[in-house]
Structure 1
């Protein structure tokens, strides 16, 4: 009965949401759009694309069309409830449904690879962790590209332009959980401290307060994230804050020069002419009916590709932009030989260790008890408070290996600087490894390699632009990455040796020995991804013979085409990628405006 009522309510909300937005600038059908000519066409209404759309449309003399492959986020209930990013969004209608090829270093397992298939992209479906990562990451981007505009100090104003720090959902005073000097309250995306306490909070914080290896960190977003601290998340008033709810909120969709078309699957870019500076790509081909018919539009100024680290290289390759020999073998005519397209895929591998706990104050009950789940949902629906206002974690930690650690034998430290972490902890007061067991309560520490040295690729399976690309992140493809997770698991076991956990933790569920072989076997059986694909259209210095885009994010050797999304990072950020993508999109908007 309850779920039938919920489905009816969701259907009504969806209809009302689309109807309301259709009166502004959000369209379901191309035939309803009043114009056929735009200055800019943005491919992808995701984390980056919506920033560009908002900032460019600030000038009423510039016209913008956003093409989003997924549907509208208006009335999309699952995207609004923060906790559902962990439990209900993967595999839903708002997910592309991708998976990797079998991973040889993970016992040939195929790993699910959720990506947002809805307006807002993955900002509408992710786990909302908001970390700017280390200053060293951005200073390295500036160094390898020769553009100081990508340095930490130059990007800080763009982080502030993005962030709108807001009160936690439960209204508690967050003093002592963050440092206000590092934050903005006047930006776009709502960011807050956890709005519902977890039973493990005091144990984690007490351990950090007296640990030299895992010290307390007041604020993860200072440019130095080393230590254990409170997570900051893109949540406002207990509701997910995405690029769609912020940069494309109704007040901005009301701009007459901004139009957004959903259910518009881009199939390729069209070379519209040639120039002394290379082929000109201002044409976009897309379909709204699974390829039965296609529409071509031309941008008067630029096409901006913001389809993400999987979609962007796939669209480029289907357009003939990539390795010419490989594309021709698939029957795709080469339009621009750019061998780096689709290469350099970098992802954070993650594994976890679990303990049974002597407590019922975990989130396990809402995952397996329909009554508890219904009560939590009713509370959220009526007040936007309660356990559903918080996602995977309330604390995270970032740590480095000592310079003398044997993990570095025979290799250079892959981190971008002395305050850049090598691995991360994500603390979860409950079971997160798939379906929750029917009994007992749990505590999980996930550990991720945040400066991995493995590199994978995005390639095409055929010349069909609607076919899923081949995703191979090459997880744990290097000895260093395998050793990082192995040492991360040992570090997690050291963390819980603090006496404060006595009586709370009962036993380790995983029951894995401490030998390298035992841990490696366990990690191969469990490791997945943090859903942070980057690098597949990497930027490099102007004139470099490798890379896909120049430091101004224009595609090398092309005219009229720019890429703005996580694919442009030369190295994966040493934390969660959401905030860095927002920052690069904010700066990219200024670069584009300067060329107008």
Structure 2
């Protein structure tokens, strides 16, 4: 009998050490917390994890989407299946407005609807961007704490390099000195391709034009190098796997509420501009629940969700709110404005050597690789294999496209990016060949000057907003894309590709042909930012101040990609992790945690 009692006590004590996971608001045993984090995405998981490190702080994390370890979750964790999460239950499945610069096309606009947010469904690229990006954020915000040098502690706290599953030597492919000791794992491919080696050989052949960069996470934002992916222990390393689940598995002061949409922020006492509460529900017709934060609400709903929730809370452009009879609490014209995104398109060439094309078009080979992965987490499915090399480039200093100013953050920051894909990667409805060997090149516009917006469609949080990235609506953007295509063609004409590169699928020889191709082919690379941008504390413009607190209200901080004042020169997930680490530190300092 005593043994049974001791066993029962053991299970009670173990359970009390774990965070609690709820799938409906009515299951929660309290409605009051020190901190409420809205959105369990890339930033939200970091914030919830770091704040709950102090056992005296109670934290509620609310996620509209689903768990990352439930039904069909292999599509999230298996590196080979990474791209297949788009368009599934793990995606918000947004759609853009008609894009004037893309021949009137609309397009899917993927964002993560799952624990980990877009870090759970993205292409797993980890690139922090050039140091000048961060120094420009410091200047824009008036806070030197955002400078590259001052962020090193948070960079090292976030990420660590991990070996590929086969422990392949990657000496000379990255710089271990610029990697840290954090929970997020990054790695290089386990299976370099012939294409990869030819790319690197070209950087030796044409070093002046296409220099090799040992580590694109070093703060040096230009050149060609090996791509680093958020993969460790043969699986995707996301904000959920690196930060949230370890916290839930070890702390009792963290509650997670899934499948629940935050409708708006409200005042639950005190001044009307003290937004210390959230209203949440599971559907348009379900009951509403109110939760109160004794200290802060941290809004981490992303570049689309954050401005939508702010506007539904009465914080936004007055004329926009009045359209839907929303009472204006703070007339904040920049909420939902200044949206920037990076378009991407692909070009293809026949290849005379081995590529992944035949493997990717052989169901038996794919099934065998997935079976091997399921058995022992090894093989082609356990690592990045499709694209492993990437380059960040600038326009020439004397380019006429720069006559009206340089939109990049500095002379060592890129205007565009090209990468190399070891198979046929089509655009939209482009029909892929059925045999042969093929490679593709992608072009990404890194520093666009086009500006879009997020606008409401109703006063309901359950209605998707209007998403208008406004792609290719300036001469700089289309001109830079044209120059990038020419650069890619020059790169592949290097002698390192002799005997390997065959004919292009589409022969583009004039500017007019390239422009027509780009407008017909480009889509989003899913790097939207700037809809709640940071600015100096004493400036009337912007949405958040230097410490990410929403201007004009008390009790609310924004921590996600919406705060960036411009597109980033790397890949946003890396930058968001860094922002979230510093933001967590700022919050702890504010409340002496």
TM bucket normalised to smaller: over 0.9
Tell me which residue corresponds to 1:581. 576
Instruction: Report the alpha carbon displacement of residue 61 of structure 1 after superposing the two structures with TM.
Output: 0.4
Cα root mean square deviation, aligned: 1.7
Q: In structure 1, how many angstroms separate the alpha carbons of the residues matched to 2:165 and 2:24?
A: 37
Residues 241 and 336 (structure 1), Cα distance of their counterparts in 2 relative to 1, 3 Å cut: same
Give SS of 1:109's match: coil
Per-residue CA shift, 1:25-76, capped at 9, x if unaligned?
2222233333322111000001000111011001100000000011111141
**1:80-479 alignment runs, 5 A limit:** 80-86=77-83, 88-184=84-180, 186-211=181-206, 212-250=208-246, 252-275=248-271, 279-359=273-353, 361-388=354-381, 389-390=383-384, 392-409=386-403, 411-433=404-426, 436-479=432-475
The answer to whether the 8 A contact 1:26-1:253 is kept is no
Q: In structure 1, how many angstroms separate the alpha carbons of the residues matched to 2:471 and 2:133?
A: 21
Q: In structure 1, how many angstroms separate the alpha carbons of the residues matched to 2:543 and 2:98?
A: 27
Give SS of 1:72's match: coil
Q: In structure 1, how many angstroms separate the alpha carbons of the residues matched to 2:480 and 2:35?
A: 44
Instruction: Report the alpha carbon displacement of residue 273 of structure 1 after superposing the two structures with TM.
Output: 4.1
Per-residue CA shift, 1:530-550, capped at 9, x if unaligned?
100100000100021111000
Per-residue CA shift, 1:239-296, capped at 9, x if unaligned?
1000000101245443000111110111111133454xx7100111111244422111
Tell me which residue corresponds to 2:5. none
For structure 1, which runs of at least 5 residues remain unmatched after alignment? 1-19
Tell me which residue corresponds to 1:5. none
The answer to whether the 8 A contact 2:185-2:231 is kept is yes
Instruction: Report the alpha carbon displacement of residue 391 of structure 1 after superposing the two structures with TM.
Output: 5.4
The answer to whether the 8 A contact 1:366-1:376 is kept is no
Give SS of 1:345's match: coil
**1:51-90 alignment runs, 5 A limit:** 51-75=46-70, 76-86=73-83, 88-90=84-86
Per-residue CA shift, 1:555-596, capped at 9, x if unaligned?
001001110000000111112111110000000001111111
Tell me which residue corresponds to 1:16. none
Q: In structure 2, how many angstroms separate the alpha carbons of the residues matched to 1:180 and 1:291?
A: 53
Give SS of 1:562's match: strand
The answer to whether the 8 A contact 1:48-1:582 is kept is yes
Instruction: Report the alpha carbon displacement of residue 461 of structure 1 after superposing the two structures with TM.
Output: 1.1
Q: In structure 1, how many angstroms separate the alpha carbons of the residues matched to 2:59 and 2:21?
A: 12
Q: In structure 2, how many angstroms separate the alpha carbons of the residues matched to 1:43 and 1:157?
A: 26
Instruction: Report the alpha carbon displacement of residue 420 of structure 1 after superposing the two structures with TM.
Output: 0.7
Instruction: Name whichever of 118-127 and 411-420 sits farther off.
Output: 411-420
The answer to whether the 8 A contact 1:273-1:279 is kept is no
Residues 293 and 392 (structure 1), Cα distance of their counterparts in 2 relative to 1, 3 Å cut: farther
The answer to whether the 8 A contact 1:21-1:250 is kept is no
The answer to whether the 8 A contact 1:322-1:337 is kept is yes
Residues 169 and 39 (structure 1), Cα distance of their counterparts in 2 relative to 1, 3 Å cut: same
Tell me which residue corresponds to 1:11. none
Give SS of 1:485's match: helix
Instruction: Report the alpha carbon displacement of residue 83 of structure 1 after superposing the two structures with TM.
Output: 2.4
The answer to whether the 8 A contact 1:310-1:458 is kept is yes
Q: In structure 2, how many angstroms separate the alpha carbons of the residues matched to 1:270 and 1:391?
A: 47
Q: In structure 2, how many angstroms separate the alpha carbons of the residues matched to 1:274 and 1:366?
A: 63
- Aligned match of 2:24 in 29, 32, 37? 29
Q: In structure 2, how many angstroms separate the alpha carbons of the residues matched to 1:223 and 1:339?
A: 33
The answer to whether the 8 A contact 2:186-2:237 is kept is yes
Tell me which residue corresponds to 2:11. none
Tell me which residue corresponds to 2:8. none
Instruction: Name whichever of 482-491 and 24-33 sits farther off.
Output: 24-33
Give SS of 1:272's match: coil
The answer to whether the 8 A contact 2:446-2:569 is kept is yes
Q: In structure 2, how many angstroms separate the alpha carbons of the residues matched to 1:446 and 1:503?
A: 21
The answer to whether the 8 A contact 1:283-1:299 is kept is yes
Per the normalisation by structure 2, the TM-score is 0.93
Residues 387 and 304 (structure 1), Cα distance of their counterparts in 2 relative to 1, 3 Å cut: same
Instruction: Name whichever of 115-124 and 416-425 sits farther off.
Output: 416-425
Tell me which residue corresponds to 1:43. 38
Instruction: Report the alpha carbon displacement of residue 467 of structure 1 after superposing the two structures with TM.
Output: 0.5
Per-residue CA shift, 1:374-418, capped at 9, x if unaligned?
012112212322222215410111011221122223x11111111
Q: What count of residue pairs does the alignment treat as equivalent?
A: 570
